[in-house]
Chains A and B, each alone.
Chain A
């Protein structure tokens, strides 16, 4: 099986052929995976929402209510089970983290009490600020079931009801700030 000679046409032909077959195959796989990829992307938000509000049947991420806040936007997703509104998942943020910006998804029940909160995006320090993650500590559990109406979203140092993460008051403050912003947006959105 002698190797092919490297003439110009041969080379051109081979490469084009290889490209052709590869790209055809790729295009095919792309088509096949297009759906699942879209679903997966969609699922990500859906799954996050699922974590912070009770069981729902609609697709909350389809319609989001946009509330402008501090030069940015807070999104409110409404979770509906059958016909009942079972909760609101609110994509909120803060700029006051130790490393500035981070993003939360705060779930509220229709009565305004907090159902659960998830961190979407953050750069807080490992070992300190990142204790706000569910995966790292139970700290964020203290918010569950609290209604900001009568639960001051401030760390105890500042006269609020929140116990700060050890050695991470800044993150704790920022977290409260973000949740408060979500709550404010919910209030505002409720008025709309």
Chain B
């Protein structure tokens, strides 16, 4: 189906509920998910992930099938923070070091290690991110 809507919906099952939040487990499929032969091809690593989402005014019960809705733009934003930004950082560090004539192995190692502070910073910003990345739950009939 053509999905040009602004939101993505995934289906999941409520696992846990506590004041205003529900933990929902969803299926996350590997890049081969759309391939109809994934079962023959062992790379069918669909793993269960849980997502915590606001319940809003609706009430849910454990074990209920629900939909999780997220703004599409959030997905792109997440990709940016999780992948693109560190990549740019890595590249920038590498090019700078390379330019200043540091030894290749050192350059390489530092470029990898620069990810450590990067992800630490993200860790510190976790609260902000939590506010940005919110999901909504809907009932499924």
Asked if A and B form a direct contact in the complex, defined as CB atoms under 8 angstroms apart, the reply is no
Interface residues of A (CB under 8 A from B): none
Interface residues of B (CB under 8 A from A): none
